């Protein structure tokens, strides 16, 4: 079982021992600092094998933005993992059979609006599942407490035997 990320940067392979391996398709050339393709022309890419486990990865898919990989296994478990940190972000309730299909789809805005207005139980359910909005908290509404002041002074050039001197003074004004 394998899948590629949306930008074709890496290939993700589900192994028979239950592990998911990533195979980078590009690397940066250390001499030219240019991104170059890996593989081809007698190059073989191998992955390190892990311990033998009876769990087999049955399905893999990547999120639309390429930041998460969703994997299903022969024990009916589904995991969402962050590709960069390789940490499991979410695990779903296991099914009674192996995972045969995983799809990532977008939900139209009108679907969510219709769901929210249909019944009060759906409203409560939607509210429970919503991610809370980011709230900005200001320490004070007094703008003078958030002001910075800088003072610059430049001394006139000295004779050519001495370099010019630039003096920079930074100050922070805070009213308590």
pTM, full prediction = 0.49
Beta bridge partners of 167: 153
Q: How confident is the model at residue 42 (pLDDT cuts 50, 70, 90)?
A: very low
What pLDDT was estimated at residue 47? 45
CA distances from 101 to 37, 41, 81, 85 (A): 31, 35, 17, 25
Q: Name the pLDDT band for 43 (thresholds 50, 70, 90).
A: very low
Q: Where are the domains of the chain?
A: 2-91, 143-172
Q: Is the pLDDT of residue 45 over 50?
A: no
The pLDDT of residue 114 is above 70: no
Beta strands per DSSP E along 8-158:
10-14, 20-24, 26-28, 35-37, 57-62, 68-73, 78-82, 88-91, 148-154
Q: Which residues pair with 22 in a beta bridge?
A: 12
Which of 15, 27, 22 has the alpha carbon at shortest distance from 81? 22
Confidence of residue 53 (pLDDT cuts 50, 70, 90): low
CA distances from 107 to 23, 59, 114, 165, 176 (A): 31, 22, 12, 62, 49
pLDDT band at 119 (very low <50, low <70, confident <90, very high): low
């Amino acid at each position: 079982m394998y899948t590629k990320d949306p930008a074709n940067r890496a290939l993700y392979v589900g192994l028979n021992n239950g592990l998911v391996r990533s195979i980078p398709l590009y690397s940066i050339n250390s001499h030219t600092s240019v991104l170059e393709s890996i593989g081809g022309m007698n190059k073989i890419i191998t992955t390190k094998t892990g311990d033998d486990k009876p769990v087999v990865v049955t399905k893999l898919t990547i999120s639309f933005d390429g930041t998460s990989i969703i994997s299903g296994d022969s024990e009916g478990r589904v995991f969402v993992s962050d590709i960069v940190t390789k940490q499991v972000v979410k695990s779903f309730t296991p099914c009674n059979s192996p995972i045969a299909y995983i799809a990532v789809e977008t939900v139209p805005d009108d679907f969510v609006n219709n769901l929210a207005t249909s019944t009060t139980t759906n409203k409560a359910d939607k509210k429970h599942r919503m991610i809370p909005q980011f709230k900005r908290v200001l320490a004070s509404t007094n703008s003078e407490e958030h002001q910075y002041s800088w003072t610059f002074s430049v001394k006139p050039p000295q004779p050519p035997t001495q370099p010019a001197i630039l003096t920079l003074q930074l100050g922070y004004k805070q009213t308590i």
